Structure formats: C-alpha cells, structure tokens
Amino acid sequence: MVRIITDSTSDISQEQAREMNIDVVPLTVLFGEEGFLDGVEISIEEFYRRLEQAETLPTTAQVPPDTFIELFQRYVDAGDQVVALFISSEMSGTCQSAFIAREAVDPDNIFVLDSRTVTFGLGLMVREAVAMRDKGLPAAEIYAQLEELSHRVYLLAAVNTLKYLKMGGRISAPAAVVGGMLGISPVISVWNGIVNSVGKSRGRKNAFQWIAKRIREEEPVDPDHMVIFGHSNAPDALAECREAFAGLTPGLENAQDSPIGAVVGTHVGPGAAGMAYFKKV
C-alpha cells in the first residue's frame, strides 16, 4: 500500500486526514514559552483568537527527524511504500528532517517531496497525491507527478490588515499607518517556495479583482487539476473571493474551501482569502 504523509501546515484537519486515510504530522506553534501541537492541541479558531491578542508574533518549531523515523519505520515494516510531502524548505526545516529520516529508514521505499508551498497550496498538493493513490499509481509515479506539479502550484491571496505584516517586520510602521488609512489590501503569492508581496489595491474587493486579472493574463489555471480556496477565519472574505474569481476555470463553484493556519496566518492575520491552483502549461 502507498501511504501519504504531510504536515500540519497543509491545514488538513485530523478528521479530514482520517477520511483521506493519510497522516498529518503536527509542527509546534509557540506563543512565547507556551507550545501547542498544531491542529492537535490548538485549533485554527483558537490560534486566531490568541493571535489577535498577541503583542508579539507566534513562532513554529519544525518536526524533528525522530518523529519521522518512527512513522516511516512502522509503514516500511508493514511492507508499505511512503510518499511524503511537506511545507516549503524555504519556510521550515521539517522537510529536511524527513529527508534525514528517509535515509535512516529505507531510501528505496520512501519518497520525500519539498512541495514548494504551504497552507491550502500544500493541501491542494496532498489531495492530488491522494487521488493518484486511489487510482492505484505506484509511489514512484506519484512522486514524479507531484514533483512536476510543485513547479506549477500557485497561491494568491488578498490581505485585509497590515498589522501583522508590520509586527513581522515585513513593512515599516509608517507604511502600515498610511496603508491602513488608505484602506490598502496587499496581495501575497506563494510560488517556488517563497511568500512574496506582489501587489496592492485599495480595498479587499479590488484586490481580488487585481488577482483575477493577473491569473487570466499571466498565470492561467490548468483546468485538468483541482483548485482550492482558502481564508484566514474570514467567511465573508471567502465569499468575495469566490465571486471575483468566478469564470476563471470550469467547475470553480465546486472547489473546496480550506483554512489558512498558523504559519501563513501569523503574517497575514485574519480576513485574508485567496486561491491555490496549478498553472496551465
């Protein structure tokens, strides 16, 4: 059997993981000295409640190699193969921990992929992996297809507040004040493993229109693959996003929704929304 493993930055809940028959290994979220296993000991709702009250941004701690060694060994001993895909190595050492564990356990039957993305972009990659597994593809073929897709996975989102970008040092305090007064909504992208600020508009609705225009003109959606919407504790922003993106690709109204969890949510704060998809070749 092929086993699919990911980490909690995919923002796949434990319940969803059981439904998909996959393993989600939690990172640790740290508010000061207080640590929680992401998605296990702290929910996304509780995370945002704490974030709004925090004076300094929370941090995360990667999964250690020993955790992966134990999990990989259990499946290899059962005669299974493993396809494991994790948060971008540019954002966390979790993937490197998995590579170390792979070499220690069984390099021939464990395939570890740097997804080059995070949050619902990683969740999108995981769902593609599950679909391939359910079609009966062998581990090596699933890995090869995921590797190709990892170069085409895009995540674009509009941010509703500049507060957390300022707290994280990504913009200056004066810029945050001016931007807040003007109602500026930055646009962020996750591509090739890195989070970047790629644009800005006055107001969130305009930001979604900016993103939709960019997707149509520069990075069109591959209709042969899944699309997923994400939001940071903001169903109203999600509804605006879905409305703005209608018509970008067939069947978009049936795309799944996903939360934006601790890693990206720390920097964008509540009120963000966007879409993850694969760029058409």
Residue 169 has pLDDT above 80, yes or no: no
**Which of 167-171, 181-185, 197-201 has the lowest average pLDDT?**
167-171
pLDDT of residue 147: 98
The CATH code for residues 153-278 is: 3.30.1180.10
pLDDT of residue 183: 61
Q: Report which of residues 235 and 160 the model is more confident about.
A: 235
Mean pLDDT of the chain: 91
Highest-scoring range by mean pLDDT, 119-133, 191-205, 259-273: 119-133
pLDDT tens profile 12-70 = 999 999 999 999 999 999 999 999 999 999 999 999 999 988 888 898 999 999 999 99
Residue 173 has pLDDT above 50, yes or no: no
For residue 162, the model assigns a pLDDT of 64
User: Per mean pLDDT, which range of 12-26, 126-140, 179-193 is the poorest?
Assistant: 179-193
**pLDDT, tens only, 56-115:** 889 899 999 999 999 999 999 999 999 999 999 999 999 999 999 999 999 999 999 999
Task: Check pLDDT > 50 for residue 199.
Answer: yes
Average pLDDT over residues 196-209: 87
Q: What is the DSSP string of the chain?
A: -EEEEEEGGG---HHHHHHHT-EEE--EEEETTEEEEBTTTB-HHHHHHHHHH-SS--EEEPPPHHHHHHHHHHHHHTT-EEEEEES-TTT-SHHHHHHHHHHHH-TTTEEEEE-S--HHHHHHHHHHHHHHHHTT--HHHHHHHHHHHHTTEEEEEE-S-SHHHHHTTSS-HHHHHHHHHHTEEEEEEEETTEEEEEEEEESHHHHHHHHHHHHHHTS-B-TTS--EEEESS-HHHHHHHHHHHTTSSTTGGG-EEEE--HHHHHHH-TT-EEEEEEB--
Predicted confidence (pLDDT) at residue 261 exceeds the cutoff of 50: yes
What residue segments make up the domains of the chain, in order of their start?
2-27+62-150, 153-278
- Across 166-195, average pLDDT: 61
Residue 180, pLDDT > 50, answer: no
The reported pLDDT for the residue numbered 175 is 39
Q: Is 135:128 a contact under the CB 8 Å cutoff?
A: no
Q: Please indicate whether residue 19 or residue 178 has the higher confidence score (pLDDT).
A: 19
CATH number for the segment(s) 2-27+62-150: 3.40.50.10440
Same fold, 2-27+62-150 and 153-278: no
- Does residue 163 carry a pLDDT above 50? yes
Higher pLDDT pick, 174 / 136: 136
Please check the confidence at residue 178 and state whether its pLDDT lies above 80: no
